[in-house]
Structure formats: structure tokens, C-alpha cells
Amino acid sequence: MKIFLGGKLVDEADAKVSVFDHGLLYGDGVFEGIRAYHGKVFLLEAHVKRLYESAKAIALEIPMSQQEMADAVRETCRANDLSEGYIRLVVTRGVGTLGLNPYLCKKPEIFIIAAKIQLYPQELYETGMKVVTVGTVRNHPEAINPRIKSLNYLNNVMAKIEAINSGVLECIMLNGQGQVAEASGDNIFVVKDGVLRTPPVWCGALDGLTRRAVMEIAEDAGYTVKEDVLQRYDLFTADEMFLTGTAAEVIAVTEVDRRTIGEGTPGKVTLDLQARFKEYVKENGVPIIDA
């Protein structure tokens, strides 16, 4: 495997960062998870734009243009002969001291990985998944804003630990007011009386690009879509529920905290949006290889 690191492609065995990198020492950096479908990088421009916005929010200046970053993503995919898969784009603060001062880090580190991913077993896309609500509260927006896709994912990891310890693969995270925020790595949608509802980002959710795409797809298909504050009651009483994410795509939830959602199987709206999303990704992306 070839990794883009330090401005060039290197062998995986040679892809190394310093133990003094603030990304490692303090989770000081930002990242994007991106998908490639059918020889195209899905929503590449939007992912790169969000990366730079996350970096700006933490006062991290990326030493290459957005176009250069997009080109590097495509170059890494070509080097690994990747037409279908997952891309991890990471920018760290770079090498610094053992102290917190980020301004002592002189040069950000950039690396790109292009490989395969299977977040959930295929059978769950057919049967739906079970989730639980966890006690780990989503970060307060004025502590670490969830809209910043930072390397500091301990909040999410703690929630994932609770989920796995409860015998499930995903969970529901609430904000400090007890409102539904998001899953540990995915956005949340419910369907009630034909209307799609998803928590607004100010409730503690990442402004997911797959979330945005699904909202657009749903509206184009004639569904009513609302950003709305949700409580657990709204999950328990939903007709359908599903999660969205770059790696997860669109996956049904059929049980929350041992409450069956709908009929206990993926609902027709969820299945419709899954099918529409598969078609959507075929048409929306930047070719990895120039025509």
C-alpha cells in the first residue's frame, strides 16, 4: 500500500510520524473520511472544504491549497488502484514540544490513506441494527464543537465502548440537555407519519455530508425533511429509524433500548432511501482517473 505523507507517496512500512506530533500527543488535528465509488471520489470538494473549515476553527493553517489536497487524494487512490473504498485524510498540528503550545509546532503533517472498509456486517443492512442510549454525553459545542471533525475522538470512543459492552455496535448519544445528538459515528434520522426528522447540528451533531446528501435525496423524492430537536421518546415511537455516515452509508435501526422500532424490520422509507443513495453515488463524484 502507498501512503501520501510529507508531500509524496511512500510505502506503508515507511509511513511514520514523530512521537512528538501533537496529533498523537493531544489529538490536535483534523480529518475526513471519504468514500470512492465506481472510480469516483464521492463529494470530494465538499469533504476537502469541510476539512479546511475544521482546520480554521482550531487555528490550524494547512500548507497546501484545497485543489492540491483534492489532487493528492486522487493521486493516492490511483497509486493503490482504488476505485471502490475508503479514504482517510488527516492533518495534524505537526511536531512540537511536550507542552500544549500549538504555535511551537512549525509544520503541519498531512497524510492520506486509501484502503477498504466494512463498518457493519452486511446482514445488518438487510435486518437492521440494535442500538442503546449511552451515558457518555456528547461534547458541549463550546467545549469541542462536534462540527469540527477533530482527531480528538475520545468522546465518541467512550460511547462506542459502552455500546460494545452492551452487546451492540452503535449507540445514541445525548447532549447536556438530554436531547438526541448523534450516534458515536453516524447521524440519526427518524421517520414518523412519512416525515423525516434529524437533530440540528446545534444539538451536538456533526454536519455529516452523507446526512446532507440523504436530506437532498429525500426532498427530491418528495419526502418532507425537518431538522428538529429529538428526545428519546421520538426514537421509541418512530415508525422507522436509520443512521447515515460515510462508512455506514444508510442503515436501518430496528431496536432502541429494547424498544422495537416500527415492525422490527427496515421500513419502506429507509429501504427506498438506501436504493436511491446507491444510485446517487454513481452520479456524484470526481473521477480518480482523468478522462
Report pLDDT digits (tens) over 149-163. Answer: 999 999 999 999 999
Residue 200 pLDDT more than 80?
yes
Does the 122-282 domain belong in CATH 3.30.565.10? no
Assess contact for 170 and 245: CB atoms under 8 A: no
| Residue 260 to residue 34: CA distance in whole angstroms | 32
Mean of the pLDDT values across residues 209-231? 97
- What global pTM score does this model have? 0.94
Based on C-alpha coordinates, what's the Rg of the chain? 19
Among candidate residues 215, 26, 154, the one with its CA nearest the CA of residue 102: 26
Q: What is the pLDDT of residue 290?
A: 83
Does the active-site annotation cover 160?
Answer: no
Taking all residues of the chain, what is their mean pLDDT, rounded to a whole number?
96
Helix H or strand E encompassing 95: none
Spot the catalytic one: 56, 149, 226, 278. 149
CA distances from 76 to 4, 43, 185, 196 (A): 6, 16, 25, 37
For CATH 3.20.10.10, list the domain ranges present in the chain.
Answer: 122-282
Q: Where in the chain is the domain with CATH 3.30.470.10?
A: 2-115
Identify the architecture of domain 2-115 in CATH: 2-Layer Sandwich (3.30)
Does the structure show a pLDDT above 70 at 202? yes
Whole-angstrom Cα distance, residue 4 to residue 15? 8
What per-residue confidence (pLDDT) applies to 291?
66
